[in-house]
A = this chain, B = another copy of it.
Amino acid sequence: MNEKSIASSIGGGSYRVTDKFYSRLRNLVRDQVIPYQWEALNDRVKDAEPSGCIRNLKAAAEKTGEKHYGYVFQDSDLYKWMEAAAFSLMWSPDEKLEQELEEAVSLLAAAQQEDGYLDTYYILGDLSRRWTNLKDHHELYCAGHMIEAAVAHFRATGRDTFLQVAEKSAEHICSVFGPEEDKIHGYPGHEEIELALVKLYEVTGKQQYLDLASYFLSERGKEPLYFREETEREGNRDYWKDGVLQYAYYQAHKPLMEQERPVGHAVRANYLYAGAAAAARCTGDNALYDHLRHLWKEMTEKQMYLTGQVGSSEYGEAFTFPYDLPNDTAYAETCAGLALAFFANQMLKIERRSEYADAMERVLYNGAISGMDLTGTAFFYVNPLEVAPEACKLDQRKIHVKPVRQKWFGCACCPPNLARTVSSITDYAVHRTETEIFQHLYLAGEFDCELSGVPVHIVLDGNYPWDGKLSFTVSPQSPVTFTYGLRIPGWCEEEYILRVNGEVVEKNPENGYVLLTREWQPGDEISLSLPMRAKRIWANRHVREDAGKVAVQRGPIVYCLEEADNGPELHRILLPRDSFFTEKFQQSLLGGVMTLRCTAKVENGEPEALYTTRPPEAKETKELLWIPYYAWANRGEGEMTVWVRDGR
C-alpha cells in the first residue's frame, strides 16, 4: 500500500452540483425525505406507526421513567437522519433544519450517561444489562451511526457540540472493549462502528479510535467465538441456529482474513468491508487490503445483480452462493446496495481502479436509487429484478417483494440511509491526493481543491447519465502540474474521444483511468466523449436464473420493461438479436428519462391445456418501450422485468 496513493473525497460545500440527475434526487431528499422523517421521528405523522425515537431520547434525558419504544436499534434512525441533515446543510443552508439538528444534539447530550454510554434501549430499560448481547442488540451499531452523524455535523457546521457527545461515547466504548484483560473481547453483531471509528480518527487524529476499529476487525470470528460464549453465558436467543447461516449471518463464523467469499447479511458484510478498507488505508495494512480486494471480486464478479445490488436471499437478507442471482425472489435491499457503494468508495481511496467506481456507479444509478419513488415519499426495502404482483401476494416465497413502494417501514433503515448517501453524493464523485485528482462519477458541477499547493477550480459540464459528452474547465490559480484522472467506464467499450484544448489525446487508461499529467493553465479545456448507446447484456454462463435471457443497458443505466408500457406476461416476450433500439429523451415521463424502443416477438404458446405437444411460435411482433430500472413502479402496480428472453 505504500506505493499506492491514499485519496480523500472532495465533498460538501466545495462541490457545487449542477448535475440534473442527482440534483433531482438531492432536492427530493432535502424537500421531502428529511422533513418527513423529522416528523416521523417526532411521532407527528398521522396514520403511521410511531417511531418513538425522539420520545425515547426525551425520556432518557428527562428521566421520566417511560419505557423504550420500538426496535433495539431505534436510535439509529435518528442518527441517520442527523447525518443526512448535516450533509444537506453543507450545500443547502436551512435555518429551520439546522435548529432541529441542534435540538437533537442537545437531547443527546442530555440523555448521555455520566460515563459516556448512550443507548436509549438500555437507559430506559435495565442499564445493568448493557453490553450483554453484542450479537443482536445493536449498541455498537447505534454508536457507530451516532459517530458518523457527529462527523458529518462537524464538517457541515464547524461546531463540535455533537462531536463532543460522540467522542465521549467513543471514549467510553474504548474503555469497555479491547485486548486488555479487564475489557470485553467482543465485537458488534451488526458492523458499522468500525467505519465510524476510522472517520472519528480522521477528524480528531486520536489513535485510540483507529486502534479500537482494528481490534474489532481482528477479534471478529476468532475461536472461541465470542458470540457463542455470550449466547450461552447470557442465555441470549440464537436466531440463526437452525439455518444455513448461523454465525456466518454476522460474518463472525471465522476471522475476516479467512473468509473466502461474502457471506451472511449483505448490509453487515459490506459495512464490515467498508470499515476494514478504511482501517487498512489508515494503518497501511496491505494484507487486509488484498483480502478485501479478493472479497470485492468474489462479490462483484459472482454475486452482484446487474443493478449493482447484492444479497440475493430474503432469508437472513443474505448472500447465498456464487452465481445464485434469482430475479423474482431477490432481496437486494436498498441498504445493501448503498453499503456496496460505501465499500467501493473506501477501496477507491486506497487504490484507483475503475472496477470499484464501475460497481459504485452501477448501484448509485440503478439498484440503490430505485429504493425511492419520484415523489420522495415512498420506498422500497427490496429491489427485485422481476415482479409479477400476483406472486407477491399469494406466494410466501415472494411476500417480501412489494410491487409498489411503501410509505414508511417499521424498520426504517433504508429511507434515511438513502437520504444520507444521496445528500453526500459528492463524496463519491471525486477523490484527490496531494498531486492527483480522480473523477469517479461524472457529476456535473464545479469544485475547488488544492493540488500541489495551488488552488484549482474545476467545472464539469454534461448531461450524464443520458449523454456521454462531458466537458471540463480546469482553472488553477496559477499554472501547476498535477494529474487529472478520468475514469473510462466499464460500460464504454467503444473508442472514446478525449481532447485537451481541442487536441485529441491518445492515451491508454491505467486501471481504467486516463491520467492527464501536465502543467495545467487557467482555462484549460478537456472534452471527453463516451459513446453511449443501448446494448444487450448477457450474464455469465454460470448464472442459472439468467440463462437464455438478455438485459438492456445504456451507459450506466439498466433498463426494464413494465406492464404499464408493454402489457402483462412479460415472460412471453423474446428480444431478437437483430432488433434495433431507438432512443428518445422524454422530459415529461418519470421525471425525465431516456426511453428505448425496439421491436420484439411475442410467443403465442398453448392458451388452454396445461401441457401440450404443440410447439409455441413467436410470430407476432410487438413494440417494446424500455424505461430506466430505477424509475419502475411509479405508475401503479404491474409486472416488471429486467431480463427478457433472448430471441436469438
Asked whether, in the complex, the Cβ of B321 is within 8 Å of the Cβ of A395, the reply is: yes
Q: In A591-643, which residues have CB < 8 Å from any B CB?
A: 603-616
Please give the distance in Å from A602's CB to the nearest CB on chain B: 10
- When each residue 315-341 of chain A gets 1 if its CB lies under 8 Å from chain B and 0 otherwise, what string results? 110001100101001000000000000
Q: Which of A22-30, A300-308, A441-449, A495-503 contacts B (4 or more CB under 8 A)?
A: A300-308
In the complex, A206 has a CB within 8 A of chain B: no
Asked whether, in the complex, the Cβ of B541 is within 8 Å of the Cβ of A397, the reply is: no
Please give the distance in Å from A26's CB to the nearest CB on chain B: 28
Please give the distance in Å from A52's CB to the nearest CB on chain B: 22
Chain B, Cβ-Cβ closest to A399 = B244
Residues of B close to A535: CB separation below 8 A:
613
- When each residue 512-549 of chain A gets 1 if its CB lies under 8 Å from chain B and 0 otherwise, what string results? 00000000000000000000000111111111100110
Q: Which of A85-93, A136-144, A385-393 contacts B (4 or more CB under 8 A)?
A: A385-393
In the complex, A396 has a CB within 8 A of chain B: yes
In the complex, A572 has a CB within 8 A of chain B: yes
Residues of B close to A645: CB separation below 8 A:
547-548
Asked whether, in the complex, the Cβ of A394 is within 8 Å of the Cβ of B541, the reply is: no
User: Whole-angstrom distance between the alpha carbons of A577 and B539 in the complex?
Assistant: 24
Given contacts A391-B324, A542-B569, contact A315 B396 (CB under 8 A): yes
Please give the distance in Å from A269's CB to the nearest CB on chain B: 15
In the complex, A648 has a CB within 8 A of chain B: yes
User: Whole-angstrom distance between the alpha carbons of A607 and B569 in the complex?
Assistant: 31
Instruction: Report how many residues on chain A are interfacial, defined by Cβ distance under 8 Å.
Output: 62
Please give the distance in Å from A397's CB to the nearest CB on chain B: 6
Asked whether, in the complex, the Cβ of B538 is within 8 Å of the Cβ of A610, the reply is: no
User: Whole-angstrom distance between the alpha carbons of A608 and B536 in the complex?
Assistant: 17
Asked whether, in the complex, the Cβ of A300 is within 8 Å of the Cβ of B610, the reply is: yes
Asked whether, in the complex, the Cβ of A605 is within 8 Å of the Cβ of B538, the reply is: yes
Asked whether, in the complex, the Cβ of A547 is within 8 Å of the Cβ of B396, the reply is: no
Q: In A370-427, which residues have CB < 8 Å from any B CB?
A: 388, 390-391, 393-397, 399
A606 partner, pick from B390, B540, B607, beta carbons under 8 A: B540
Asked whether, in the complex, the Cβ of A320 is within 8 Å of the Cβ of B610, the reply is: no
User: Whole-angstrom distance between the alpha carbons of A548 and B608 in the complex?
Assistant: 17
Asked whether, in the complex, the Cβ of A537 is within 8 Å of the Cβ of B324, the reply is: no
User: Whole-angstrom distance between the alpha carbons of A397 and B331 in the complex?
Assistant: 12
Asked whether, in the complex, the Cβ of A393 is within 8 Å of the Cβ of B538, the reply is: no
Q: In A156-198, which residues have CB < 8 Å from any B CB?
A: none
Given contacts A313-B395, A315-B396, A395-B244, contact A540 B321 (CB under 8 A): no
Residues of B close to A237: CB separation below 8 A:
none
Asked whether, in the complex, the Cβ of A244 is within 8 Å of the Cβ of B393, the reply is: yes
Please give the distance in Å from A365's CB to the nearest CB on chain B: 15
Asked whether, in the complex, the Cβ of A612 is within 8 Å of the Cβ of B547, the reply is: no
Asked whether, in the complex, the Cβ of A316 is within 8 Å of the Cβ of B537, the reply is: no
Asked whether, in the complex, the Cβ of A610 is within 8 Å of the Cβ of B540, the reply is: yes
In the complex, A228 has a CB within 8 A of chain B: no
Asked whether, in the complex, the Cβ of A611 is within 8 Å of the Cβ of B540, the reply is: yes
User: Whole-angstrom distance between the alpha carbons of A605 and B546 in the complex?
Assistant: 11
User: Whole-angstrom distance between the alpha carbons of A267 and B349 in the complex?
Assistant: 58
Residues of B close to A572: CB separation below 8 A:
541, 547
In the complex, A571 has a CB within 8 A of chain B: yes
Please give the distance in Å from A647's CB to the nearest CB on chain B: 9
Given contacts A397-B329, A645-B548, contact A606 B541 (CB under 8 A): yes
Chain B, Cβ-Cβ closest to A639 = B544
Asked whether, in the complex, the Cβ of B391 is within 8 Å of the Cβ of A538, the reply is: no
Residues of B close to A313: CB separation below 8 A:
395-397
Residues of B close to A607: CB separation below 8 A:
540-541
In the complex, A224 has a CB within 8 A of chain B: no
Chain B, Cβ-Cβ closest to A602 = B541
Residues of B close to A258: CB separation below 8 A:
none
Residues of B close to A611: CB separation below 8 A:
306, 537-540, 551
In the complex, A243 has a CB within 8 A of chain B: yes
Residues of B close to A394: CB separation below 8 A:
244, 320-321, 324
User: Whole-angstrom distance between the alpha carbons of A236 and B397 in the complex?
Assistant: 26
Residues of B close to A605: CB separation below 8 A:
538-541, 547
Asked whether, in the complex, the Cβ of B614 is within 8 Å of the Cβ of A538, the reply is: yes
In the complex, A493 has a CB within 8 A of chain B: yes
User: Whole-angstrom distance between the alpha carbons of A610 and B325 in the complex?
Assistant: 11
Asked whether, in the complex, the Cβ of A577 is within 8 Å of the Cβ of B324, the reply is: no
User: Whole-angstrom distance between the alpha carbons of A550 and B612 in the complex?
Assistant: 10
Chain B, Cβ-Cβ closest to A326 = B397
User: Whole-angstrom distance between the alpha carbons of A616 and B543 in the complex?
Assistant: 13
Given contacts A315-B396, A610-B302, contact A603 B547 (CB under 8 A): yes
A396 partner, pick from B243, B306, B541, beta carbons under 8 A: B243
User: Whole-angstrom distance between the alpha carbons of A445 and B135 in the complex?
Assistant: 66
User: Whole-angstrom distance between the alpha carbons of A212 and B216 in the complex?
Assistant: 67
A304 partner, pick from B539, B547, B610, beta carbons under 8 A: B610
Please give the distance in Å from A556's CB to the nearest CB on chain B: 12
Given contacts A321-B394, A321-B395, contact A537 B613 (CB under 8 A): yes
User: Whole-angstrom distance between the alpha carbons of A544 and B321 in the complex?
Assistant: 24
Can you sample 5 A-B contacts with CB below 8 Å? Answer: A244-B396, A302-B610, A326-B397, A539-B610, A547-B572
Known A321-B395, A324-B391, A324-B394; 7 more pairs at CB < 8 Å: A306-B611, A315-B397, A537-B611, A537-B612, A538-B613, A541-B572, A541-B616
A residues neighboring B (CB under 8 Å) = 243-245, 300-302, 304, 306, 313-316, 320-321, 324, 326, 329, 388, 390-391, 393-397, 399, 493, 535-544, 547-548, 551, 569, 571-572, 574, 577, 603-616, 645-646, 648
What 3 A-B pairs have minimum CB-CB distances, sorted nearest first? A315-B396, A541-B605, A547-B571
